[in-house]
């Protein structure tokens, strides 16, 4: 009964509806990429290198004459997978971790937060590059363990995405843990939590019913704000040879390539940057709207 109410409220919020549709639209595009894209993303056309937008190539071409429009569509896949996987992993681990620490306080809090503090002090860039080097350095290729070879094969089949997702997930959950722990600390001191505890509600029930909904807003906003970061991390990795395996397109990679020639062929960076911006705006407004709706005090 309450769930219906919530769903109805969600659907009534204008921002959620609009932004949510855009996100849905992007997801559908990503899934239907092979059917929508006018050209395969790796179709090379040496005669049309760095063409500005034209009828033949609506967004122009890149340095191999590949259609940027098609590459952006396929790139949606990559960016969305990276975004969703990264967001999901970090959200799940982070909120669980932070709520547990913030609610139980005492030794539990100390232990969990000390680990978080340590991981926070560990530069994520270092860690992710080290991870990527190990994953992609060629060592896993010739490993003797079948499991490791299998994972490597899956990663190759995904164009290099699996390891990127693992890497990003592994370094980003820490921020959310900190955030949720801080909020949980504040919320736990509130009167109604005390009341619930006094009544005899179990910690799990209290956490899920009272604490979690209050965190949801800032968490969603925070995670949504991290998404550009994930995509940028992936683009940076692609650039030093530790990201997607060419010719797999990724918006971040395309932006990075395009920026090299920004002063000469601006269209190469502009379109992927616009796609990225659109996706960001959509996710952000979605997060905004959802937070507005799920505010517990109503």
**156 forms part of the interface with another protein (CB under 8 A):** yes
CA atoms within 13 Å, Cβ hemisphere of 60: 17
Residue 262 lies near another protein (rule: CB under 8 A): yes
Question: What is the C-alpha to C-alpha distance for residues 159 and 249, in angstroms, rounded to an integer?
Answer: 9
- Smallest separation, CB 184 to another protein (Å): 11
The answer to whether 251 and 79 are in contact (CB under 8 A) is: yes
For residue 211, the 8-state DSSP code is I
> Per rule CB under 8 A, is residue 240 in the interface with another protein?
yes
Cis upstream peptide for 207 (omega within 30°): no
Q: Kindly state the smallest distance separating residue 255's Cβ from another protein, in Å.
A: 6
Question: Does position 294 bind another protein by CB under 8 A?
Answer: no
With CB under 8 A as the contact rule, the residue among 256, 267, 271, 289 that binds another protein is 256
Nearer to another protein, 10 or 261 (CB): 261
SS3 67: strand
Query: Least Å distance between CB 266 and another protein?
Result: 9
With a CB cutoff of 8 Å and minimum separation 6, the contacts of 44 are 64, 65, 66
Q: Which stretch binds another protein (CB under 8 A): 26-34, 85-93, 199-207, 275-283?
A: 275-283
Per CB under 8 A, the list member of 33, 44, 89, 96 interacting with another protein is 44
109-148 positions binding another protein, by CB under 8 A: 114, 117-118, 120-123, 125-127, 129-130, 133-134, 136-139, 141-142
Q: CA-to-CA distance for 185 and 101, rounded, in angstroms?
A: 9
């Amino acid at each position: 009964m309450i769930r219906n109410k919530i769903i109805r409220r969600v659907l009534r919020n204008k921002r959620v509806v609009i932004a949510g549709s855009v996100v849905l639209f992007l997801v559908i595009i990503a899934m239907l990429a092979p059917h929508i894209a006018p050209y395969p993303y790796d179709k090379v056309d040496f005669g049309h290198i760095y063409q500005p937008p034209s009828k033949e190539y609506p967004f122009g071409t890149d340095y191999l004459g590949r259609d940027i429009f098609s590459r952006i569509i396929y790139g949606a896949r990559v960016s969305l997978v990276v975004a969703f996987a990264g967001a999901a992993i970090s959200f799940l681990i982070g909120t669980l971790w932070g709520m547990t620490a913030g609610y139980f306080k005492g030794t539990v809090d100390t232990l969990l937060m000390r680990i978080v503090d340590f991981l926070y002090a560990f530069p994520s860039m270092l860690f992710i590059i080290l991870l990527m080097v190990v994953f992609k350095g060629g060592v896993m290729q010739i490993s003797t363990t079948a499991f490791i070879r299998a994972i490597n094969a899956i990663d190759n089949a995904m164009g290099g995405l699996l390891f990127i997702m693992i890497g990003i997930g592994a370094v980003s959950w820490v921020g959310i843990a900190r955030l949720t722990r801080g909020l949980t600390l504040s919320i736990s001191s509130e009167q109604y939590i005390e009341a619930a505890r006094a009544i005899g509600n179990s910690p799990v029930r209290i956490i899920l019913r009272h604490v979690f909904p209050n965190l949801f807003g800032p968490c969603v906003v925070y995670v949504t704000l991290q998404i550009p970061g994930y995509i940028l991390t992936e683009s940076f990795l692609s650039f030093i040879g530790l990201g997607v395996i060419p010719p797999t397109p990724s918006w971040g990679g395309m932006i990075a390539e395009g920026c090299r020639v920004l002063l000469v062929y601006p269209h190469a960076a502009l379109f992927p940057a616009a796609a990225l911006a659109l996706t960001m705006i959509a996710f952000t407004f979605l997060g905004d709207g959802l937070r507005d709706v799920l505010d517990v005090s109503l």
